[in-house]
């Protein structure tokens, strides 16, 4: 898919709490339309999906040598705030493994982002304790003359800091800001197997990501509720071979709420299932009522 200088081809993205490149734990969805010329207008869109006060909870499961075990929980909250004197939203995601799961892989992640009233990224931070590693990744966004600038840094446990700068004529997102913006769009025009590419900062570097649209499926979540879902897969390419990283399911309604994620890890696999949601902006019309 070609990227135009004065716009962004339709794209999709998402979110997670996995080690290093795979640390986009959940919230991966997106579909943004071809947008106007300036980067700021590319980054801006009307919020159609969520409101302040939304709170989502997930149960986490790990698979180790064919054994599935409940491994902890994750949460995503959205609240209104003021940033640099302007109306904004703060999105906060936490992923916490249980003591039982710590035997296999310890995970304590907190991810925060600040976006403008029109969904433009301002700030991103991820504090992650994953296995024996503890890092804090940060990214600050600014816009000038049709260019998006990102200042990034990673702080290690020992105080060592790696920093870098990046700019692009396209809008650059982080794992939560792209989720917030993209939830407002309708994926009805996508064809099964279609690939979507997009740039995303991790706080350490900016990477081109690839998402594949898999179609629609029915899924029963951990809250004993069955949903109509839209399915996407995040993939990476190594030595010319395609490797699936995450497959995720989002509600086929105006909320576009992620309710299931299948994660393929180096040490096994993991799943995240929706447990509860409150403060949602729209009715969950994707719920299938038993006959």
- How many Cβ atoms sit within 10 Å of the Cβ of residue 108? 16
- 140 or 23, which is more confident? 140
Whole-number pLDDT of residue 104: 64
Instruction: Tell me the mean pLDDT in the region 174-203.
Output: 81
Average pLDDT, the chain: 80
In this prediction, residue 75 has a pLDDT band, given cuts at 50, 70 and 90, of: very high
pLDDT in tens, 2-43: 333 333 333 323 333 444 444 444 434 333 333 333 466 668
Instruction: Tell me the mean pLDDT in the region 229-245.
Output: 82
Whole-number pLDDT of residue 183: 80
In this prediction, residue 61 has a pLDDT band, given cuts at 50, 70 and 90, of: confident
Whole-number pLDDT of residue 120: 92
Phi, psi of 273, deg, nearest 5:
-120, 140
Burial zone of 5 (CB within 10 Å; 0-12 exposed, 13-18 middle, 19+ buried): exposed
pLDDT in tens, 206-223: 988 788 889 999 988 888
Q: Which range has the top average pLDDT, 105-119, 129-143, 247-261, 272-286? A: 272-286
pLDDT in tens, 149-188: 999 999 999 999 999 999 999 888 888 887 787 687 777 7
Q: Could you report how far apart the first and last alpha carbons of the chain are, in Å?
A: 43
Per-residue H/E/C for 248-273? EEEECCCCCCEEEEEEEECCEEEEEE
Q: What is the DSSP string of 11-59?
A: B--B----SGGG---S-B---B----SSHHHHH-----S--TT-EEEEE
Confirm if 139 and 110 have CB atoms less than 8 A apart: no
Whole-number pLDDT of residue 182: 67
Confirm if 223 and 275 have CB atoms less than 8 A apart: yes
Residues contacting residue 85 through CB under 8 Å, at least 6 positions apart: none
Alpha helix ranges (H) inside 143-183:
177-182
Residues pairing with 290 in the sheet: none
């Amino acid at each position: 898919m070609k990227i135009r200088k004065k716009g962004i081809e339709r794209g999709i993205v998402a979110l997670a709490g996995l080690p290093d490149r795979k640390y986009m734990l959940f919230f991966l969805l997106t579909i943004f339309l071809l947008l106007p010329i300036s980067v700021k207008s590319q980054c801006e869109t009307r919020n159609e999906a969520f409101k302040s006060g939304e709170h989502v909870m997930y149960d986490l499961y790990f698979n180790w040598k064919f054994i599935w075990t409940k491994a902890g929980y994750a949460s995503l909250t959205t609240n209104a705030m003021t940033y640099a004197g302007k109306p904004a939203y703060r999105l906060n995601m936490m992923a916490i493994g249980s003591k039982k799961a710590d035997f296999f892989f310890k995970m304590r992640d907190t991810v925060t982002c600040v976006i403008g009233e029109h969904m433009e990224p301002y700030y991103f931070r991820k504090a992650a304790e994953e296995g024996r590693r503890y890092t804090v990744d940060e990214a600050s966004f600014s816009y000038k003359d049709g260019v998006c600038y990102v200042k990034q840094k990673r702080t290690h446990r020992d105080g060592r800091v790696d920093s870098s700068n990046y700019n692009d004529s396209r809008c650059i997102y982080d794992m939560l800001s792209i989720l917030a913006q993209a939830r407002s769009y309708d994926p009805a025009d996508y064809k099964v197997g279609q690939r979507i590419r997009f740039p995303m900062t991790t706080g350490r570097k900016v990477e081109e990501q690839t998402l594949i649209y898999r179609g629609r499926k029915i899924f029963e979540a951990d809250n004993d509720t069955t949903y109509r879902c839209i399915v996407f897969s995040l993939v990476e390419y190594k030595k010319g071979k395609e490797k699936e990283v995450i497959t995720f399911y989002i509600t086929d309604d105006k909320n576009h709420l992620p309710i299931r994620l299948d994660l393929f890890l180096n040490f096994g696999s993991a799943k995240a299932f929706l447990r509860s949601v409150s403060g949602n902006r729209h009715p969950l019309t994707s719920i299938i009522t038993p006959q």
